[in-house]
Structure 1
């Protein structure tokens, strides 16, 4: 269970430095909107959510218009999307379906920047994407999930399992998967982890509110049976906890991408099964849950060691200086 440390409190002027400037107590990720630089009011998180929704609608509307136009065959047969936008062998479906979720990234980031007056805080406590953290975690997690998801795929092989034909169409799908799936995962992390943590963290001291409240909404966004939804719920809690612990979204994005990208790549071997939602064989939980929990535990340990924080303490922002005293 996560404990509240001194980093969870609103910043107050601390001891003056030798230069005469006060040093503000560094904040954890979920409390960043309380920084004096933002001039936070109780309503500001609501403004951030409203701005994010408005920006997302503005971004996604042109894509939806292009989708309707494409359904008429305007851009050629290859680019005719299906009504469900869920066929992994259809490039148009992948562009629209994944692209709509990817647009959550600029919507959330700009909503926080403009309405929250807090550029960069959705990324991490460093107010930027920590690429070194993201890439180093990816080197470990991508091969792991490639192995695990392939093993799950082979436990109950689909009837249409076959080697993919190497042609321009298949190569195009691979390119789209590699480009769009990480953005799709990032979009979900910004909306289901980053925003809730910082919105609820403005009003409530404990990070648990921002971690747990979004979980049922994330679960309902997937169409699995109770077995699959249990897996999704555990996954969501782990991603939220990692976001708090690591002080940013990078670890959650990498873990989410490692899972989703390998699943999308496997669709070229059997489009009928790997993205199919619905009934899930309970035996698969014996593989997926230990891997999710084990990956989370490793990331938790690695982040603690990398940043020199205790197990139940989060990574916080770099100490900032306040106004120079008179």
Structure 2
């Protein structure tokens, strides 16, 4: 099983606490700074874009998180002496077909829903296509976004999920904890400043979705593909002046955002449908045990071999 893959590395409390606590500390500092700024995060982003340009600011936002992926990998390999494969999946090798299936499935659905939104309210969107700027965005986004989203998956659904699962000998606790922390990680985003803390429900719900498919599928592959597609296609298709990703995308959404029941649609409808599709395709069973069951000990794993 996936959580038990953590036993393939060297276990130690300080080893597992260092990276999560360090990252949480950075997020707390970032949030405190955002609260004490004389200007809003949204206004600060606008000033940076005016000064440095959209693409450079995008790199400044995404680049550090992309680089942190190699920190997680390096710490896992050097300190825990655990393979990246075992941090990724319980399978004998990483299943790239799963990654690409989730990527293209969600990328296609995201694009379709995006264009449907544009067609139903065309007055709210401005065509923003600039061939040179868009080409640069494509190159930068394709290079950085998969690294950025992979960092978040390896940290939350991988590293913390395995470490907390082994420490508590339980699957539900890491599922809940990683989902809530993942949601709270977005608390300093400009979207929260514009729409309010209620938007965290969406981020936490997304965390639960990613955690469920990771535990049920015994690996990160589906979560890696989904998350990369979500951010990449979103960055390329539509941007707005109140989002964390402000890019030279095809369209700009000029509508005044509002927090409504629409944030529940992905959580209550879209994500369950995706879970159903994945479950049918990959023949998931034993739901109760995989999501809420006990994590086996080293000795129990040895006896079951």
Provide the TM-score with structure 1 as the length reference. Answer: 0.66
How many residues align? The count is: 256
Change (3 A) 1:48 1:311: closer
Matches within 5 A, 1:43-192: 44-50=12-18, 90-120=54-84, 121-126=86-91, 128-152=93-117, 159=124, 161-192=125-156
In structure 1, how many angstroms separate the alpha carbons of the residues matched to 2:134 and 2:279? 37
Match of 2:262 in 1: 283
Superposition CA RMSD, Å? 3.6
Change (3 A) 1:106 1:83: farther
Q: In the alignment, is residue 239 of structure 1 matched against residue 217 of structure 2?
A: no
Change (3 A) 1:91 1:271: same
In structure 1, how many angstroms separate the alpha carbons of the residues matched to 2:123 and 2:266? 18
In structure 2, how many angstroms separate the alpha carbons of the residues matched to 1:145 and 1:210? 28
Unaligned runs of at least 5 residues, structure 2:
26-44, 187-191, 240-248, 296-300
Match of 2:245 in 1: none
Unaligned runs of at least 5 residues, structure 1:
1-27, 58-80
The alpha-carbon deviation at position 149 of structure 1 amounts to 3.4
CA contact (8 A) 2:180 2:204 kept: yes
> More displaced, 265-274 or 245-254?
265-274
Q: In the alignment, is residue 259 of structure 1 matched against residue 230 of structure 2?
A: yes
Higher helix proportion = 2
The alpha-carbon deviation at position 132 of structure 1 amounts to 2.1
Q: In the alignment, is residue 292 of structure 1 matched against residue 283 of structure 2?
A: no
1:195 to 152, 159, 174: 159
The alpha-carbon deviation at position 218 of structure 1 amounts to 1.9
SS at match of 1:261: helix
CA displacement, residues 7-30 of structure 1 (integer Å, 9 cap, x when unaligned): xxxxxxxxxxxxxxxxxxxxx111
The alpha-carbon deviation at position 94 of structure 1 amounts to 1.8
CA contact (8 A) 1:225 1:279 kept: no
The alpha-carbon deviation at position 85 of structure 1 amounts to 7.6
Change (3 A) 1:136 1:283: closer
Provide the TM-score with structure 2 as the length reference. Answer: 0.70
